[in-house]
């Protein structure tokens, strides 16, 4: 069951394990990443933890919470078609 009280810890885990991934792959090219099984599985496990933490976040924050909606607003419809030849 998802609990809002645990969201802070989950968000901290997301930041922590994401930074682990960036530290692990820093200075490594794709061929080295693919060929070294330790690096590959280390990165995959950290990404798995990030995904699980993200999944466990509460779905609908309360109105009293400090979460903000990042939904992009649609631009107003144009009166004329900019691609229409005159």
Tokens 């005159």 locate to 86
Is the residue at 27 inside a domain? yes
The overall average pLDDT reported for the chain is 81
Confidence of residue 6 (pLDDT cuts 50, 70, 90): confident
d(CA 60, CA 1) in angstroms, rounded, equals: 14
Between these two residues, 18 and 58, which has the higher pLDDT value? 18
How distant is the alpha carbon of residue 60 from its chain centre?
17
- Predicted structure pTM score: 0.61
In this predicted structure, the answer to whether residue 30 has a pLDDT above a threshold of 70 is yes
For residues 8 and 16, give the distance between their C-alpha atoms in angstroms, rounded to a whole number.
12
Query: What is the residue range of 33's domain?
Result: 18-59
- In the chain, the number of structural domains is 1
**74 in any annotated domain:** no
Helices (H), ranges, 1-86:
7-25, 30-35, 37-55
pLDDT value, residue 82: 60
């Amino acid at each position: 069951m998802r609990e809002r009280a645990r969201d802070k810890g989950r968000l901290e885990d997301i930041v922590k394990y994401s930074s682990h991934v960036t530290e692990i792959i820093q200075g490594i090219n794709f061929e080295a990443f693919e060929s070294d099984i330790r690096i590959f599985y280390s990165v995959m496990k950290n990404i798995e933890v990030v995904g699980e933490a993200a999944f466990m976040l509460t779905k609908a924050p309360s109105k009293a919470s400090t979460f903000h909606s990042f939904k992009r607003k649609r631009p107003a419809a144009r009166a004329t078609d900019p691609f229409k030849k005159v």
